[in-house]
Structures are given as C-alpha cells and as structure tokens.
C-alpha cells in the first residue's frame, strides 16, 4: 500500500479566466484558487443569512487583489441589479456609463414588458382554440365520410361483378350507369362537406392571420428596441484595463456583444481593480439563489461565453507577471497561495480560510494509482471551463507523473469510492480491456429510501440518454442499452436500508436508475436529487459508495482487490 493520503497544496488552480491581449495577441489569464473559493464560501454564508438575497438568482463574484502598498484586499460584486439597485454599499459599483442610460433603460424595459404582455395575449387568443376545435371536428367528419365512401365503393365493385355475370345488354349498361351516378354523388357529397368546412373556418383563419401579423410586427419592434438599448449601453459603458486603457463597449464589440455585457460580476471586479491600480491575484464567480437553467446555488462557474469571454483579453491587458505566480518571499504583502503566509488578515475576512480536503491514496505502484474519490468531485475534467476541478486535474498538478495519469473508469460526481488511474498507455489499454470485457468485479454500497420487495435479485432495465436532457438516463426498451445489476439487501435495521450492488454493465447512472425505477427496486438511493423524491435535496450527499474493485494487475496478471471503507 502507498501513503495514507495525498495532500493537495493550496496553489492548485481550479479554473483559469483566459483571454488574448487585443494589442499584442499574447495569452493572458487569471486563476481561481482554493483560497478565493474559500472567501467566496464565506460570502455565501453571509448571503444565506440575508433573506433578501434568496429572492432572485444571480451570479456573484469575489476578487482577491494586492494594492501598491502590498496589502491584500477583497472586492465583491453582483451581476446586474441587486434588489433593483445598481449601487449598493459594500459592493463594487456598476461600470461607468450605466447612469447615463438608466432612463432609456427604464423606458425600454417598460416598453418590452408591454410588448411581452401583448404577445402573450395574441398567442392565447380564444379564436385559436375555436379554430383548432372546428378544424378537428371537420377532419373527423371528413374521415368518417371517407370510410363510408370506401365501403360504398367496395359494394359497387362487387355489384359490378355480379351484374356482369347475370345481366345482358341493354339492362347491364343501365345498371352500370346507375352505379357510376352513385359514385359521382359520393364525390359531390365530399366536395360539399369541404366547402362547408372552408366557409366555417375562413373567418376564424382571418382573425388568426391578423393576430399572427401583429405578432410578427411586435417581435420586430421588440428586436429593434433591444438593439437600440444595446447600442446605447455599449456606447456609454467604458471599461478600463490594467494597461490604463479605457474604451467603450461599442469600441470593443467588433463582432457585436449581447445586452448585459459589462453588467456581469467579473468585468465589474476587474474594472474596479484596474481603476484603483490594484493587481488582481485570483477571481471566483458563483451562482446564489433559486436555480435557473443549469445554474445551481452555491456552485462556481467560469466566464460566460457570450458576455464576458469576448472582453476578458482586454480586461486582463496590462498584467505584467505570467501565471502561475508565487509571491515574493521578501514582500510584506500576504500571498495568495495559502499556508501561513497565504491567509489574509483576520480583520479582512473575519475567520481563517478553509483548506481542501485531502484525496486519500488507497494504492500505488509503478503502473497504478488508486484514490478514494470524495462525493461532489468530478472524476475527470468536464467539457466546459467551469467544470475543470476533478480528481485527475488535481493529481496532475501534484504527482511527479501527473501528465501521464489517465482515468481508467469514472464515478458519478455525486458518488464516492474507489477510482482507478493508470500511469502508462500500456496499463490504461490493459485495464480498459478488462472493463470492456467485464472481467472487473465492482461492488457498491448504498442506502435506500425503503426496502426492496425482494431481499436479493437481478435488475435488467435498458438505459437511454436523451440528448436533450443530459445527464439524466431513461429506461427505454427501444433505444436503451442493456444494463444488468445484481443486488443483495445487507440490513434494514435502525431505519436504514443498506444494499450491496454488483453492476455487471457500466452505464451512466445505472445503479441510481435501477434503484429508483418502479420496474427496478422502486427505492431511490438516499440523497439522489435527480431520480429521488423532492426531499432528497436536503441530504448532504448521495449515499452511494464504490467499495471494491477486483481485477488483474496489468503487469503481473495477478488478482488485485482494491477497497475503500464506507463513509456512511
């Protein structure tokens, strides 16, 4: 076995705010560090104690900066308005220029609200429902008439065959002509019903067409007003960078920027620091308040793609030192990297900074590295800049072979337990082949919300990932991939239901869906906010832990069992 734990230094970077200098094209970046995240969490605690901050969800930001005298200062900002106010004591003020467009903004927003109200009215006009009902009624009548005509046509065809076999001319001709007249009458009946339909729905269609025409006009008016306000804001807003340059957003927006650019927390903070002549050290942004889209309260996020990312290069221009950066040991200023020298003065923050929890090392040799992944941490970096903190990225920062490490498999962000990494491509290929051919035995322990109907058994429910609702998985017989899980109830005493899972396949969220689905155990895992009951959000974590991996060593071929104690 290896050392009991891997200590992560405080200078690990969890995200980079990056851009390119518009003058030189040089890459510029500013880190988000554990220290500034700790300061942000203290701000979250302050926000949580104030009910006013719970009414609306928004982005907040914290900037750790160094003054010319070497003092460390903490700046904080909110995006947009806070409870309807742009300037709030204790917070960085808006970008200069907002006051110049405040009246125009108020008038435009009022006009946009009026347009929105009229759009809703036009989209929900009763005549739309009346038209749909009438069209449905006539469609049903036409379908019924078509069925009747098909039946009559079949009867006439049968009669023609009988008449041809039993009648001679001229009686046969007269009989066939009578059948032809019946066919013509059916055609006339169908045309009369269609004409009746068209006459009935024409007035309603005219009203709907008029409403749709008004809708399109309002949408064009809304677009024009929004563009006018956007242009006014971009002409008025002026940003300053660390090179001492000041430009309006209109000057920077060579390809156009959306309304709201400059109102985000990061531009406010960087502009304020640049104007004050302070050197930025670390920046963090987080969402607080009711969830909105993919934004979750208390989570850190990177620069928004449309509003902040295009102007980051300008805002960071003038920073003289490359990153990563270590403070000058002889400086009087407090460093940003943590430790004894890295903690800001108590008078500034009120209490000391927290440190990152260590990653316990379960096993290590020349080919493998196994850690005990904590819940809430990704196994590998995500696709976007605000999801870079992970087991793999942290280990790559501190391990001597960090650039060679590769995750052999993954655990859900909410799941804890045994996570296996390879130190070479040969080991990675060998181990992944074992996973693919199902030679690896995996065991998980979970707490369920209730006892399953049977104490043990097998769950076979095919799983499908709807591309429009990722990462959620669905049970789908047509599109789903085969998924197999063995389970065994370990105990049900003391108000806890503890179950041992042995997944045979390795689908995303397999155990969570197999536990929660009515055709599975019908007993969600405790703390499962995605598949469990609404009250699952009150739990501190998902009670699912990867306890054991049993595999063959990639070099020796000998069986190897890797285990992690259950933390709950």
pLDDT digits (tens, 9 = 90+) for 90-104: 898 887 766 666 677
pLDDT of residue 350: 25
pLDDT of residue 490: 95
Segment 425-447, tens digit of pLDDT: 899 999 999 999 999 999 999 99
Task: Write the CB contacts of 393 (distance below 8 Å, at least 6 apart in sequence).
Answer: 380, 381
Phi-psi region of 488 (alpha: psi -120 to 50; beta: other; left: phi over 0): beta
b/e code 119-146 from CB counts within 10 Å (16+ = b): eeebeeeeebeebeeeeeebeeeeeebe
- Please determine, for residue 344, whether its predicted confidence score (pLDDT) is greater than 70: no
Architecture of domain 361-563: 2-Layer Sandwich (3.30)
Q: Which of 14, 12, 7, 235 is nearest to 105 (CA)?
A: 235
Residues in the chain: 568
β partners of residue 66 = 72, 279
**Confidence grade of residue 106 (pLDDT, cut at 50, 70, 90):** confident
Tokens of 166: 């039993």
**Confidence grade of residue 327 (pLDDT, cut at 50, 70, 90):** very low
Task: Write the CB contacts of 61 (distance below 8 Å, at least 6 apart in sequence).
Answer: 76, 77, 78, 79, 264, 265, 266, 268, 269, 283, 284, 285, 286
Other beta carbons less than 10 A from residue 226's beta carbon:
15
Segment 351-377, tens digit of pLDDT: 222 334 458 899 999 999 999 999 988
Segment 240-289, tens digit of pLDDT: 888 888 777 666 654 455 555 667 899 999 988 988 889 999 999 999 98
Other beta carbons less than 10 A from residue 367's beta carbon:
17
Q: Tell me what the mean pLDDT of segment 110-132 comes to.
A: 91
If DSSP codes are grouped into helix, strand and coil, which group holds residue 313?
helix
pLDDT of residue 403: 67
Segment 495-544, tens digit of pLDDT: 899 999 999 999 999 999 999 999 999 999 999 999 998 887 778 899 99
Contact, 523 vs 452, CB < 8 A? yes
* Distance in angstroms (rounded) separating the CA atoms of residues 300 and 286: 4
72 exposure class (CB count in 10 Å sphere: 0-12, 13-18, 19+): buried
Q: Assess whether 198 carries a catalytic annotation.
A: no
Give the max Cα distance, the chain.
Answer: 123
Other beta carbons less than 10 A from residue 44's beta carbon:
17
- Please determine, for residue 381, whether its predicted confidence score (pLDDT) is greater than 80: no
pLDDT of residue 291: 85
Pick the catalytic residue: 403, 412, 426, 519? 412
Task: Write the CB contacts of 139 (distance below 8 Å, at least 6 apart in sequence).
Answer: none
pLDDT of residue 5: 34
* Distance in angstroms (rounded) separating the CA atoms of residues 544 and 501: 10
If DSSP codes are grouped into helix, strand and coil, which group holds residue 567?
coil
Phi-psi region of 350 (alpha: psi -120 to 50; beta: other; left: phi over 0): left
Name the pTM for this structure: 0.43
- Please determine, for residue 323, whether its predicted confidence score (pLDDT) is greater than 60: no
- Please determine, for residue 568, whether its predicted confidence score (pLDDT) is greater than 50: yes
- Work out the percent of the chain whose per-residue pLDDT is above 90: 49
If DSSP codes are grouped into helix, strand and coil, which group holds residue 67?
coil
Other beta carbons less than 10 A from residue 17's beta carbon:
25
Output the CA angle 314-320-324, nearest 5 degrees: 95
Q: Tell me what the mean pLDDT of segment 22-41 comes to.
A: 84
Mean pLDDT of the chain, nearest integer: 82
Tokens of 210: 């008029």
Segment 145-157, tens digit of pLDDT: 999 999 999 999 9
Residue 534 phi, psi dihedral angles, 5° rounding = -55, -35
């Amino acid at each position: 076995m290896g050392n009991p734990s891997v200590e992560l230094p405080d200078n690990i970077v969890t995200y980079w705010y990056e851009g390119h200098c518009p003058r030189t094209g040089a890459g510029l970046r500013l880190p988000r560090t554990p220290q500034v995240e700790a300061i942000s969490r203290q701000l979250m605690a302050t926000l949580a104690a104030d009910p006013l901050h719970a009414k609306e969800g928004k982005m907040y930001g914290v900037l750790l900066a160094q003054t010319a005298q070497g003092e460390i200062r903490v700046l904080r900002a909110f995006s947009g308005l806070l409870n309807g106010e742009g300037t709030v004591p204790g917070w960085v003020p808006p970008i200069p220029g907002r006051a110049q467009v405040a009246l125009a903004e108020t008038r435009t927003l009022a006009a946009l609200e009026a347009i929105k109200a009229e759009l809703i009215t036009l989209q929900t006009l009763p005549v739309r429902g009346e038209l749909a009902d009438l069209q449905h009624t006539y469609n049903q009548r036409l379908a019924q008439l078509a069925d009747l005509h098909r039946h009559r046509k079949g009867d006439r065809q049968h009669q023609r065959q009988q008449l041809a076999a039993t009648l001679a001319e001229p009686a046969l001709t007269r009989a066939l002509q009578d059948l032809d007249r019946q066919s013509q009458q059916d055609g006339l009946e169908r045309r009369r019903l269609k004409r009746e339909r068209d006459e009935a729905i024409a007035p309603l269609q005219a009203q709907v067409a008029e409403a749709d025409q008004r809708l399109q006009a309002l949408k064009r008016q809304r677009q024009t007003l929004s563009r006018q306000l956007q242009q006014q804001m971009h002409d008025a807003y002026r940003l300053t960078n660390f090179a001492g340059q000041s430009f309006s957003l209109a000057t920077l927006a060579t390809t156009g920027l959306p309304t709201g650019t400059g109102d985000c927390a990061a531009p406010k903070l960087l502009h304020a620091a640049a104007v004050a002549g302070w050197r930025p050290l670390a920046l963090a942004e987080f969402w607080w308040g009711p969830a909105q889209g993919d934004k979750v309260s208390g989570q850190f996020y990177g620069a928004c793609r449309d509003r902040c990312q295009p102007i980051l290069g300008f805002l960071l221009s003038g920073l003289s030192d490359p990153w990563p950066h270590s403070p000058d040991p002889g400086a009087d200023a407090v460093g940003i990297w943590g430790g004894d020298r890295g903690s800001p003065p108590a008078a500034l923050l009120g209490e000391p900074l927290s440190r990152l929890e260590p990653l316990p090392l379960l096993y290590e040799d020349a080919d493998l590295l196994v850690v005990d992944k904590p819940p809430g941490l990704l196994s590998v970096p995500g696709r976007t800049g605000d999801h870079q903190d992970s087991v793999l990225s942290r280990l790559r920062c501190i391990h001597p072979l960090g650039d060679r490490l590769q995750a052999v498999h993954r655990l859900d962000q909410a799941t804890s337990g045994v996570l296996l990494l390879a130190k070479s491509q040969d080991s990675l290929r060998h181990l992944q082949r074992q996973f693919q051919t199902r030679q690896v035995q995996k065991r998980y322990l979970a707490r369920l919300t209730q006892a399953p109907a049977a104490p043990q058994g097998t769950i076979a429910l095919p799983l499908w990932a709807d591309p429009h609702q990722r990462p959620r998985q669905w049970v789908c017989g047509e599109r789903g991939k085969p998924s197999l899980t063995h389970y065994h109830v370990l105990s049900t005493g003391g108000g806890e239901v503890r179950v041992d899972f042995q997944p045979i396949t390795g689908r995303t969220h397999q155990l969570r869906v197999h536990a929660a689905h009515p055709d599975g155990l019908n007993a969600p895992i405790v703390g499962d906010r995605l598949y469990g009951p609404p009250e699952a959000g009150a739990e501190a974590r998902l009670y699912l832990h990867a306890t054991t991996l049993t595999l063959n060593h990639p070099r020796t071929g000998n069986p190897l069992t890797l285990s992690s104690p259950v933390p709950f």
